[in-house]
């Protein structure tokens, strides 16, 4: 994860566009040198987030940051625009030549911090088709963190993954209850058994639990663990990132 400084208009915004782009490039360099397989750019410092939309200034500056990362690093790279601004993320990916986006609210609906997030698969995939962006993969959160799922309590996580598959997701993301919180291993195993899609772990991966996650996951999205003190808003701890990636390489071997 590359967590951008707060962008223009957000309550915590303080950095110039040049500083935002430089920060993204600096984090990408640290992570690439640590041996990660891919990069994912996100505007997490823009809290509190707008619901299912982001302004043109957010799209423009995230595209500028993504272009700088894409230009300097050959790793696969994706983007997420919070909260559930999935068409905006697709626009950033198209403009910067990125490989994937992380999308919220793809199927069903849930109540997030920002309010009700509704399913977007139909509109999002039609946008991808009409924009000529079909090379951009869409990895989709299911029953995601920071949300209440009471309205879909009669639909299991595994059934939600099947629905995402039916609605043409390129991969499903399983999370814990909040940023940095581990996934439930039984839930992860159930999704991996039920889904024909790649299954990604979207929160809480650490050096201590990666061995148990590894048999069930196609990928791990790691943010908090690679930061100082294990806090998402800390600085990248290159030593922790190197230690983690070395352990993953040993598991692969």
d(CA 155, CA 9): 38
In the prediction, which pLDDT does 148 show? Answer: 94
Tell me the per-residue pLDDT of 170-221, one tens digit each, with 9 for 90 and over: 999 999 998 989 999 999 999 999 989 999 999 999 999 999 999 999 999 9
H or E segment at 137?
strand 137-141
Write out the two tokens for 185. Answer: 């291993």
| pTM of the complete model | 0.96
The torsion region of residue 136 among left (phi > 0), alpha (psi -120 to 50) and beta comes to beta
Three-class secondary structure assignment of 68-79: HHHHHCCCCEEE
pLDDT digits (tens, 9 = 90+) for 34-92: 999 999 999 999 999 999 999 999 999 999 999 999 999 999 999 999 999 999 999 99
User: Who's near 44: CB < 8 A, 6+ residues apart?
Assistant: 1, 3, 4, 82, 179, 223, 232, 233
pLDDT tens for residues 81-129? 999 999 999 999 999 999 999 999 999 999 999 999 999 999 999 999 9
Domain with 103 in it: what CATH number? 3.20.20.70
Write out the residue range of the structural domain in which residue 50 sits.
2-252
Could you give the number of structural domains in the chain?
1
Measured CA to CA, the distance from residue 15 to residue 7 in angstroms comes to 8
User: In the prediction, which pLDDT does 195 show?
Assistant: 87
Position 26 scores a pLDDT of 98
SS (H, E, C) 205-253: CCCCCHHHHHHHCCEECCCHHHEHHHCCCCCECHHHHHHHHHHHHHHHC
Other C-beta atoms lying within 10 Å of the C-beta of residue 65: 28
């Amino acid at each position: 994860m590359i967590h951008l400084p707060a962008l223009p208009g957000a309550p915590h915004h303080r950095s110039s566009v040049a500083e935002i782009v430089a920060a993204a490039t600096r984090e990408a360099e640290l992570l690439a040198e640590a041996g990660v397989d891919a990069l994912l750019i996100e505007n997490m410092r823009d809290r509190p987030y707008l619901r299912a939309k982001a302004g043109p200034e957010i799209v423009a500056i995230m595209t500028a940051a993504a272009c700088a990362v894409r230009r300097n690093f050959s790793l696969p790279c994706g983007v997420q625009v919070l909260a559930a601004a999935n068409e905006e993320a697709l626009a950033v990916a198209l403009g910067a030549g990125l490989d994937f986006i992380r999308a919220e609210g793809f199927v069903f609906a849930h109540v997030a911090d920002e309010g009700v997030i509704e399913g977007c698969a139909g509109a999002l995939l039609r946008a991808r088709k009409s924009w000529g962006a079909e090379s951009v993969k869409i990895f989709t959160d299911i029953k995601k963190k920071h949300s209440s799922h009471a309205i879909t309590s009669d639909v299991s996580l595994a059934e939600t993954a099947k629905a995402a598959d039916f609605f043409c997701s390129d991969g499903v993301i399983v999370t814990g209850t909040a940023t940095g919180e581990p996934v439930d291993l039984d839930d992860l195993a159930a999704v991996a058994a039920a889904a024909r899609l790649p299954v990604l772990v979207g929160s809480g991966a650490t050096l201590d639990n990666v061995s148990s996650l590894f048999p069930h996951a196609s990928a791990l999205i790691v943010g908090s663990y690679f930061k100082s003190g294990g806090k998402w808003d800390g600085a990248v701890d290159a030593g922790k990132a190197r230690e983690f990636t070395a352990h993953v390489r040993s598991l692969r071997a």
